[in-house]
Structure 1
Amino acid sequence: MTRRLAILQGHPDPSAERFGRALAAAYARGAARGGHETRTVDVATLDFSPLRTRREFEEGTPPDDIRRAQETLAWADHWAIFYPLWFGDAPALFKAFVEQAFRPGFALRYRPSGLPEGLLKGKSARLVVTMGMPAFVYQWFFLAHGLRNLKRNVLSYSGVSPVRATLIGSAKALDEATAQRWLAALEELGRQAN
């Protein structure tokens, strides 16, 4: 079954030599092999400022680049989200993008009870996170707090489900054979649209 895939590149550095960018490219190659349609949102290339007030979040008009990113996310059935772990969480530019894009009216609406209703039901996501530390240390010692926040407080509230994660630890220390295995694994996930 052909699916529509949004590849969301959250690395703030546009340099092609970043491993997370190679992983996203492998995912896109696999998606093409699987006959899926893809569109990419590259946060490093977007023109937007961080939100500063609750009023701006709830009532402001998204910048043009954010609006176009929302159109891509709305178009897709499945999202593949790539970002590096910085200080135990996503980079600040990626978090600023999330705050801009996942506004009321696009990602959720508030019910009279105050609890949000997700507007993105029917979509699924794969989070691919690279990090300097071993992945098991992030999961068991730090309890994957940044990843859990994105999954629960952003994606789940927005109705995105299921959300799966691929954690790639010790990314800077990977030997060539291990890096190639990760690239092949991401290409296969892209082929499966998973």
Structure 2
Amino acid sequence: MNMLVIFTHPNHQSLSYAFLQQVLQGCRENEAIQEVKVLDLYEEAFNPVLVFNEKKRRRDMHTAPDLAVYREQLLWADKIVMIYPIWWGRPPAMLLGYIDQMFASGFAYRDGRGLLPEGLLKGKSAVCISTMKGPALYPLFWLNNAHKVLLRRALFSFVGIKRVKFFEFGRMEQTDGKQTRKLEKVYRYFKSLTA
């Protein structure tokens, strides 16, 4: 299994970065995982801003030369892992900008004759690991699970990725031992992952 880990947090002293380290440790101890590549969007200085004009048209985004390396990463990966904080009820703008550009028509999906397009990333799976300051049930009861709906239905399902697992960890700024238990949970998951 080839795994692409997309890490989105500007601080390498953050809890999100600690989750990244646990993912990588679990992967190193798992024989089912052949190779892992990490894309750190902030360290990479990925430009999340969409630009369309007379020279750069939206319909050509799937062939943009400056995004070729990122398209190759997504095609290479069997599993896509996203690690990010929840800010204002959604992933950071940096990650959303990556999604806007990378999951483009002609690359991630193709318009068809039916109601929904044809997903071109079929056969892949995804894992989303997010942390938030508020309680874990806040997104469910206050935001109608907008974050999960955004990623599961509006993104992954749209491009053909049906198997999506979420780890949403709330109250992560409290130092009552829960951080350690959550980090261990993620480590164990990736250590024992088979597909």
TM-score by length of 2: 0.88
Q: Report how far residue 49 of structure 1 moved.
A: 4.5
**Cα separation, 1, equivalents of 2:39 and 2:60:** 24
Alpha-carbon contact 2:133-2:171 (below 8 Å) kept: yes
1:116 partnered with 2:93: no
| 1:116-164 deviation line (CA, Å, top 9, x unaligned) | 1100100111111111110112112211202211111111101112111
Give a deviation string over 1:84-124, Cα, whole Å, max 9, x none.
11111111111011001101122111114463110010011
Q: Of the candidates 3, 10, 13, which is equivalent to residue 17 of structure 1?
A: 13
Alignment-derived partner of residue 70 in structure 2: 69
Distance 1:183 1:120 in 2: 29
Q: 1:99 maps to which residue?
A: 100
* Gap regions ≥5 residues in structure 2: none
SS at match of 2:137: helix
Q: How far apart in 1 are the matches of 2:144 and 2:65? A: 34
Question: Identity of paired residues, percent?
Answer: 27
Q: 1:182 to 1:63 in 2, by over 3 A?
A: farther
- For the residue of structure 1 that corresponds to 2:160, the secondary structure is coil
Q: Distance in 1 between matches of 2:162 and 2:192?
A: 17
Unaligned runs of 5+ in 1: none
Query: What is the DSSP-based 3-state SS (H/G/I as helix, E as strand, rest coil) of the residue aligned with 1:50?
Result: coil
Of stretches 40-49 and 182-191 in structure 1, the one that deviates more from structure 2 is 40-49
Within 2, Cα distance between the matches of 1:140 and 1:63? Answer: 42
Contact residue 48 and residue 63 of structure 1 kept, 8 A: no
* Equivalent AA in structure 1 for residue 64 of structure 2: P
User: What letter is aligned with 1:57?
Assistant: R
Aligned to 2:188: 188
Task: Point out the structure with the larger helix share.
Answer: 1
Q: How far does the alpha carbon of each residue in 1:4-23 deviate from its partner, in whole angstroms, 9 at most, with x for none? A: 11111122x1x211111110
Q: CA deviation at 1:63?
A: 5.2
What amino acid does structure 1 have at the position aligned with 2:157? S
Structure-2 change in CA distance of 1:86 and 1:167 (3 Å): same
* Residue aligning to 1:145: 146
Taking the TM superposition and a 5 Å limit, the aligned residue runs for 1:136-175 are 136-175=137-176
Q: Secondary structure at the match of 1:135?
A: coil
Find the aligned partners of 1:63 and 1:88 in 2 and give their Cα distance: 33
CA contact (8 A) 1:67 1:101 kept: no
8 Å Cα contact 1:33/1:191 also seen in 2 = yes
